[in-house]
């Protein structure tokens, strides 16, 4: 298998309110796997609330948008016995 077949990417946009609460999470580019897409969505939501956003970062806006790419890679399972 090639590296491309072992790696799946998801691109999402997170919109945060000034106090760090999530306003919206939207998948912009799916991994092609509903399970991985839902996992990324859950990870973002479970990490909330985020820290408050400084006024200078907001620059007069009422929300902050963050776009990020998640990479899920399939790797072999390793275990060790002590």
23-72, pLDDT tens digit by residue?
Answer: 999 999 999 999 989 999 999 999 999 999 999 999 999 999 999 998 88
The rounded Cα 1 to chain-centroid distance in angstroms is 26
- Give the pLDDT score at 80: 52
Sorting pLDDT into bands at 50, 70 and 90, what band is 79?
very low
| 15 touches 65 (CB < 8 A) | yes
Q: Which two tokens stand for residue 50?
A: 């985020």
The rounded Cα 81 to chain-centroid distance in angstroms is 34
The strand pair at 64-73 and 22-29 is best described as: unpaired
- pTM of the shown model: 0.76
* Cα separation values, 21 from 27, 49, 51, Å: 18, 5, 8
- Give the pLDDT score at 60: 94
């Amino acid at each position: 298998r090639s590296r491309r077949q072992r790696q799946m990417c998801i691109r999402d946009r997170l919109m945060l309110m000034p106090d760090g609460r999530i306003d919206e999470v939207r998948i912009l580019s799916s991994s092609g796997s509903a399970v991985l897409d839902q996992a990324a969505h859950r990870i973002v939501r479970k990490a909330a609330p985020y820290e408050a956003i400084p006024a200078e970062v907001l620059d007069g806006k009422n929300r902050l948008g963050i776009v990020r790419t998640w990479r899920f890679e399939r790797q072999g399972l390793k275990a060790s016995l002590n």
